Amino acid sequence: MRDIAITGMGVVSAIGVSPEHFWTNLVNGTLGMQTIPGQGTGGPHWWSPVSDAFDLGAFFDDPKLARRTEPFAQYALAAAAQAVGAAGTALPPERTAVVLGTSMGSLPGLTKAQARFDREGADAVSARLMAMVIPNMASAHIAMHLGLHGPQLTVTTACASSLDAIGLAAMLLEGGGADVAIAGGTENFLDLLVFESLRHARAVSPETARELASRPFDRARSGFVMGEGAGVVVLERKEAAVRRGARIWGILRGYASLADAHHVTAPEPSGRYEQAAIEGALRDAQLPPDAIDAVIAHGTSTPVGDAAEILAINQAYGARPLPVTSIKGHIGHTMGASGVMSLIAGLYAMRDGVLPQTLGTSDPDPQAAFSLVVGEPRHVRLQAIQVNAFGFGGQDASIVVAADDR
């Protein structure tokens, strides 16, 4: 993979509903967690809902749009509008792909409909329910709103969904299946049903102190915090972007995706398959490990998940003090949107030469051979970064992005 340029970005998150606000709050160490209403025992518990500043009407004039769409699709629409506006490129209707990742579509919409059915009976079920909650509705609404007729695809590979969506979109461009791609991920799964399931599985953080709830790679990490939102990027071939004088945020150089085939929720503990994904993306980029200046890690703050990623990074990069950070201490784990949000953070880090701190972490796991960014942002020259995303079901994805070398 050589010539895929990233020319636009959009974000809807707990700490900002534009890329610039998102980035500013990452650097400033803004914490996006809030208490969960109606939570289970042993609280308070925490999750990271999209900022109250989010207003779909700021992006679209049609007042019916909010009624016709669930939040996961609304977030994706807004992020796509930002990304397309920033890219400033024409979207050839039959040559523009839309590839979005999500892990759950609109589970909250389905559970609310079930509750209404239980209270009021069959007549209370909306005729639009199916067409609102199924996972492909985020990509479908983007295509419909923009009048696009190219490939319209939805990827659902758990927490790896958005990186896989971006990798697939890049391959479509490389293979001639499209000229422009709108790609990324979206998630809205903040639902008590999901929270209680994850609490019983001891996956979510039990911490009652907000600032300690998510601590990626910390010795005392205890689980992740549920988050939501969307991130979208615009991809096009580098020569097309150069020809029209576009701003190029980065060049997508490498992508790899594989299955560790170990367990439905736990990664293979040695980290060898996560390592294989990292090394596969490096091979695709034709770059040696020492060409990577920093890693934006998956870093969920779970004991077993972070342990496997620590081993994978150690083994892929050796013992050098490679700067590594995770943004999940700021915004929680946004599941299918987490990879693209990490990518957008990495692109801003390349622009400004600064990595945000791994918020919440104060005592890095001693098994880590790398240099975790803690305490404050770190200024560092970044020419190439790697972004990881690993998900339930053994979904391992990694991408390599480099600065434009013109």
Which residues form the catalytic set?
A: 159, 298, 333
Say how far residue 406 (Cα) sits from the centre of its chain.
Answer: 28
Contact criterion met (CB below 8 Å) for 155 and 100: yes
Nearest one of 126, 132, 75 to 100, comparing CA atoms? 75
Q: Where are the alpha helices (DSSP H) in 333-377?
A: 338-352
Element (H, E) at 62: none
3-state SS, residue 391: strand
Residue whose structure tokens are 């009048």: 147
| Strands in 294-383 per DSSP E | 294-296, 323-325, 354-355, 371-372, 378-379
Token representation of residue 208: 């009652």
Half-sphere exposure of residue 27, counting CA atoms within 13 Å on the CB side? 18
Q: What span, in angstroms and rounded, lies between the C-alpha atoms of 272 and 350? A: 28
Token representation of residue 319: 């013992």
Strands 46-48 and 96-101 come out as unpaired
**398: β partners:** 256, 388
Q: What span, in angstroms and rounded, lies between the C-alpha atoms of 158 and 43? A: 27
Angstrom CA distances, 354 to 5, 157, 336, stand at: 21, 30, 25
Burial class (CB in 10 A: 0-12, 13-18, 19+), 64: exposed
Q: What span, in angstroms and rounded, lies between the C-alpha atoms of 29 and 115? A: 38
The terminus-to-terminus CA distance of the chain in angstroms comes to 17
Contact criterion met (CB below 8 Å) for 78 and 59: yes
Burial class (CB in 10 A: 0-12, 13-18, 19+), 315: middle
Q: What span, in angstroms and rounded, lies between the C-alpha atoms of 182 and 180? A: 7
